[in-house]
Chain A
């Protein structure tokens, strides 16, 4: 979230699209009801289903799953055509005025630089025109045909309300009503917030879905302000923390990147990772990359990381190729992986195409599952009848189950969607012989270290030289780890650091994650603070926990003021320029003494200091979002560019060769399948809990009344839902809440498929929903396309 949960109460308009906050985030949803009750805010929901969020919305519109960019692109077209933009904001705080490389172009759904062979783009032309001084050229009048504003207008002019409606199935008048509501926030004293979740990420255009909304928020001047922002609702109490700490194979903590094989030297790596400013006077905060990186290496390798050995650069793996979940299971499926550690992860249920995942797991020599409960993954080798029809005799994978404690059985911290880190205290001891995850991993590490020390190996140094300064080596405490992550000085008396401004690239500081620096300051564990005083009344409780970065609650908050430094809306003042420095109700996201006339722009993480309407090469599938059909689409063509079959689906999406045959076609699988969560359950976990099992006991699928009539189905009937990858059997819920969509003159039916069931647990055992889903992900993030694929449904 650019903003935070409590801040939602400051919104005038709340758009829930690409998510179902009432269902999946009921506690956070209370801030929507606060905004409605106390600010007279309006709630708008756009979703393929009339959801629990829609049930309490002021306005709802249906949309065909997988067509969000068509809808949002149409909104951009509406905003620029009807002049519903906050001009001063767009002019100063976005790259609307920037001139783009004249060789950049877009035709028939393809951006310049496409290579069909590799299904990827050479992004060289997705760049600014640079002057002799190395800075990007701009045109303050925004008339140059190559300036971002003109390119953007041209790109989205194709998204007319009629075409939007033909693609999305959203009736034109409903689409326009929502455009008007969104457009009403293009003024300084009205703000919209965007709440989204997996409904946007789980598409082959997932990242572009979100970027498209970010562009809308920039045009409206809704980023950096109270009650605004683009707000990812994370699905797990600590999934933000997981992301921050880099549980993604290509990252390092704090969104740094692992070196790759192309980084021949430490110098090459730092040069590649440290951006140069693209406009004068800008902060370009990533220019501090070497400080963050060296401090991380000092935290990990301690004395072994010295200036002479490039702070242990050679101790890090140099990754080759992608290592997202789909790539890992593809490699496992190809027999390239021997062993796999599954920690708090149930991939048999959670990854696309269960059959492929099951086959992949069967090719392992060993599988280690660290989890409090037996999971479908730990039992993947066992025959559970039709629910898991495998032959144990044919599976040689040795499975080790290490029982871990649950969240309430250990001290530690959660980082919530709003980036607020909150310390929690252990409530009870874990049962039996269960151990904390840290202890389990530590014991494995210590054993490996002992073996490497004794027996040597190809390259034992990364293991042997790891710093392990914990008082009980088998049980590093949460306190020790939190202090290490927050960082300390390696000179003097080794005091804790109070913020990432103190990090050094000379090896004199150690910090496990620069974003968390200062969480455990000389004043102690700030994440443990529980002072909910809110002097501004805006929900800016700066002494509750600790928010990264630097305890800042609203990112880019410099943009909450006009260029002169006065709040757009004084009643929602986040920060302001008081004549000599930035002050206010939040930690200013700006150099404190940066005078407004210096024109230091709010988006300090960008080389150019402004928000990007033109996304450069940051996403792999284009600098502007473009509508592409889902990989399994009920339509034969992409109506945006019907004559180019190559751009029907996202041309930059990775497809593994073996998966081509696994995609289904609408002749056999005519309906749009979409998967989702229910409020009564938490993923594949709470089916083990009696109360949750009572509240939602049995697997079901939802279909509209029209499809039910066609198929002769009624409430409570048993049905079989199939895709080209397998089938599930469930109870039918026939509902008015799923409407048959009129898409380009034809009917499109949606089948809604909740995910929570499996062959383990107290709830009535059921089929794994991901039996049905396709093995294809977003071009940039590789999040699988769980929200839009093709199925058939028949009476069982």
Chain B
């Protein structure tokens, strides 16, 4: 990743202080669901820019393809057919992917030093070279976003195109979106833009229209304009009130110091084992997939 021009604010499992000389603008992607036509141009652009290709799958009875996020699909469109109380049908389409939380559960739960970082502009990034593949980020994510690759056993997700943003470009999905449903800019500008969109939606009869920028994770750097903001779960199960999981809080608060202690103990035990018994030999059959 080319990130020389992005400051790192936080790193997983690291206590070294972060650089603090430069101050960068907090950025955000705003996905206006009322403008989205579910065309998947964002998915195509994501594949192209990041040079990832998922498998050619099958039709499972919906328009969604690939059916879920994976190490090869960092964003997917999700489609939900919903009948409203007045009998109107709505086809709700939501671009799913990393929300880039201000208070990222993945980073907090990650035990591998520097495998997950948060840039000062708000982007949360995985540094796969430091990833141990433990999958704690998956447990820690309140949006069920990261995916382990079956090929290299490392976790992957949307980077918010940090490499593009570092050079002054917008994310690939925003660039490709034909209807302007994906906007990108400073978080402040996106909040302002969202206000106008919500006013318009309310005038069109969506009285519950609102912004999705959930406080439980400190706000997000990917936000949605939702016509039905009171029931985000209508949008293919978007979390109504996402919180850092109690597991994460437990890990950060109590388990981590304890773990540090037991890890030391384990190392000592290992040395003892090596000295007394000798190295472990891997069984050939076990290493083959």
Contact = CB atoms under 8 A, between A and B. Distances in A.
Interface of A: 22-23, 26-27, 29-30, 32-33, 36-37, 40, 50, 52-56, 58, 60, 679-680, 690-700, 714-717, 731-737, 762-764
Query: Which among A52, A695, A698 has the greatest number of chain B C-beta atoms within 10 A?
Result: A695
B200 to A, nearest CB: 7
16 contacts: A23-B39, A37-B200, A40-B203, A54-B91, A55-B93, A56-B36, A680-B40, A694-B47, A697-B65, A698-B58, A699-B59, A714-B61, A715-B60, A731-B61, A733-B62, A733-B63
Given A26-B39, A679-B37, A715 B62 contact: yes
Nearest to A739: B89
A691 B55 contact: no
B178 interface: yes
A694 B66 contact: yes
A733 B59 CA distance: 9
A691 B44 contact: yes
Contacts of B200: 36-37, 40
B53 A737 contact: no
B61 A694 contact: no
B37 A695 contact: no
B105 interface: no
Query: Which among A54, A56, A717, A731 has the greatest number of chain B C-beta atoms within 10 A?
Result: A56
Nearest to B204: A58
A45 to B, nearest CB: 11
Interface in B24-83: 34-41, 43-44, 47-48, 53-63, 65-66, 81, 83
Interface residues of B, number: 40
B179 interface: yes
B90 interface: yes
A715 B40 contact: no
Contact of B179 (A30, A691, A696): A30
Contacts of A22: 37, 39, 179
Contacts of A40: 200, 203
Contacts of A60: 89
Nearest to B205: A58
B257 interface: no
B218 interface: no
A787 B38 CA distance: 23
Contacts of B65: 680, 694-697
A58 B197 CA distance: 15
B116 to A, nearest CB: 27
B79 to A, nearest CB: 9
Contacts of A37: 197, 200
Contacts of A694: 47, 53-57, 65-66
Nearest to B81: A736
Nearest to A736: B81
Contacts of A732: 61
Given A26-B39, A29-B37, 9 more contacts: A33-B181, A52-B37, A52-B39, A56-B37, A56-B179, A680-B40, A694-B66, A698-B57, A736-B83
A33 B35 CA distance: 7
Given A52-B39, A715-B62, A33 B179 contact: yes
Nearest to A53: B37
B37 A697 contact: no
- Counting from the closest, the 3 A-B pairs by CB-CB distance are A715-B61, A716-B61, A22-B37
Contacts of B59: 696-700, 716, 731, 733
B180 interface: yes
Contact of B178 (A30, A58, A691, A700): A30
Contact of A691 (B47, B83, B203): B47
Nearest to B88: A60
B34 A56 contact: yes
Nearest to A698: B59
Nearest to B77: A695
Contacts of B58: 697-698, 731, 764
A52 B203 contact: no
A26 B48 contact: no
A59 B224 CA distance: 23
A430 to B, nearest CB: 21
B37 A23 contact: yes
Contacts of A735: 81
Contacts of A690: 53, 56
A53 B53 CA distance: 28
B38 A695 contact: no
A26 B181 CA distance: 12
B215 to A, nearest CB: 28
Query: Which among A714, A717, A733 has the greatest number of chain B C-beta atoms within 10 A?
Result: A733
Contact of A26 (B41, B90, B204): B41
Nearest to A696: B65
Contact of B91 (A50, A58, A680, A762): A50
Query: Which among B38, B48, B181, B203 has the greatest number of chain A C-beta atoms within 10 A?
Result: B38
A53 B37 CA distance: 7
Contact of A762 (B35, B56, B92): B56
B66 A50 contact: no
Given A30-B178, A30-B179, A697-B57, A55 B37 contact: yes
Nearest to A31: B179
A700 B58 CA distance: 10
A711 B179 CA distance: 38
Interface string B169-188: 00000000011110000000
